[in-house]
Amino acid sequence: MALANLPTPLTFAPRLSEELGSSIWLKRDDLTGVGLGGNKARAVEFHMGACREAGADVFVTGGGPRSNWVLAAAAAAAARGIDCELVLFGDRPPAGTSGVDLLDRVDNLRIHFTGSPVRASVDPLLDRVEACLREEGRRPYVVGRGGAGPVGALGYVAAVDEIDDQAQGAGVRFEAMWLAAGSCGTMAGLVAGYRRRTGGPRVVGAAVHRPVEECQRRIEDISEASLDILEVAHRYPVRWQVTDHLDPDPLEVDAAARLMASTEGVFLDPEYGSCALADLIRQAGEVRGPVLFLVTGGTLNLFHGSSAA
């Protein structure tokens, strides 16, 4: 049985469209339903399959204490009945301030804190956790921070087919698509998905965690590697770009969140979704056709501000 509730709705956003003077549609991937939903459900689905195929007995990954990804990973591992080890950056947050309270409810889950506020501190500890598990005779399946990589990206390669079917059914052809890019796995999957066909939309990612050049490299590498897995021989050119949101204007981000909430009753998190919408608002005047805005979820961030994920 599938973990994620798919297809997620594709809905026209009439009041937001009127405000922005463009035709805006929402792809509601906040409603995927694994953990608290969000984009990572699509990645974790493929990782869980690969984990089972590898004959692994423990799912190992990492991220931030409010991360969409670690919550999805913990929930998916629980649903599949497999042990899970998570590496989170920072120190254990006080009770009631993060998703760690939810993770603590899951049996067969062990959490390791790096003790450093730096996101990248997850990587060496992940290696150490993997080595310890192997010494204990376990068979770990290890996924890097955020679940980004060619296997996870397959979730959004498949999402392109889903979006195309829905768009055809609704009689709409998207000129552009907007989303937030963190570890870039989501955007890489979309780019890869559109490389399998001609005439896809321009894909625009608001880079919220990494410099634009790093995102560009990651998107290029991950999307190509995921098409290699699928043995896609012919790859069409795709128009895609990454915009810099490493240091966003908090007023613009807040205004974007308020606009979405007031016009469509959809709540965007401050770290990802609101930044992506702020980027779209800035550029809406230059877009000529319908736009798809990917709502990526991030429920834990809604309640805890933007300082971690």
Ligand X SMILES: Cc1ncc(COP(=O)(O)O)c(C=O)c1O
Closest separation between CB of residue 257 and ligand X, Å?
Answer: 13
Closest separation between CB of residue 300 and ligand X, Å?
Answer: 9
Closest separation between CB of residue 182 and ligand X, Å?
Answer: 3
The smaller minimum CB distance to ligand X, of residues 133 and 216, is found at: 216
Closest separation between CB of residue 304 and ligand X, Å?
Answer: 12
Site size toward ligand X, by CB under 6 A: 21
Asked if residue 226 binds ligand X (CB under 6 A), the reply is: no
Residue from 183, 216, 226, 306 touching ligand X (CB under 6 A): that is 183
Closest separation between CB of residue 55 and ligand X, Å?
Answer: 27
Asked if residue 200 binds ligand X (CB under 6 A), the reply is: no
Q: How many residues does the chain have?
A: 309
Asked if residue 99 binds ligand X (CB under 6 A), the reply is: no
DSSP 25-53: EEEEGGG--STT-STHHHHHHHHHHHHHH
Of 19-27, 129-137, 174-182, 252-260, which segment contacts ligand X by CB under 6 A?
174-182
Residue from 296, 302, 306, 308 touching ligand X (CB under 6 A): that is 296
List strands edge to edge, sheet with 140-142. 109-113, 83-88, 58-63, 140-142
SS3 of residue 97 by DSSP:
coil
Report the C-alpha gap between 49 and 295 in whole angstroms: 25
Residue from 186, 223, 226, 274 touching ligand X (CB under 6 A): that is 186
Helix (H) or strand (E) holding 181: strand 176-181
Asked if residue 178 binds ligand X (CB under 6 A), the reply is: no
Binding mask 20-39 for ligand X (x = CB under 6 A): ------------------xx
Judge contact between 14 and 20, C-beta under 8 A: no
Report the C-alpha gap between 123 and 152 in whole angstroms: 17
Residue from 151, 181, 266, 280 touching ligand X (CB under 6 A): that is 181
SS3 of residue 294 by DSSP:
strand
Report the C-alpha gap between 7 and 272 in whole angstroms: 22
Report the C-alpha gap between 73 and 28 in whole angstroms: 20
Instruction: State the Rg of the chain over Cα.
Output: 19
Residue from 58, 174, 298, 302 touching ligand X (CB under 6 A): that is 298
Question: Where do contacts with ligand X occur on this chain (CB under 6 A)?
Answer: 38-39, 67-69, 146, 148, 180-187, 269, 272, 296-298, 309
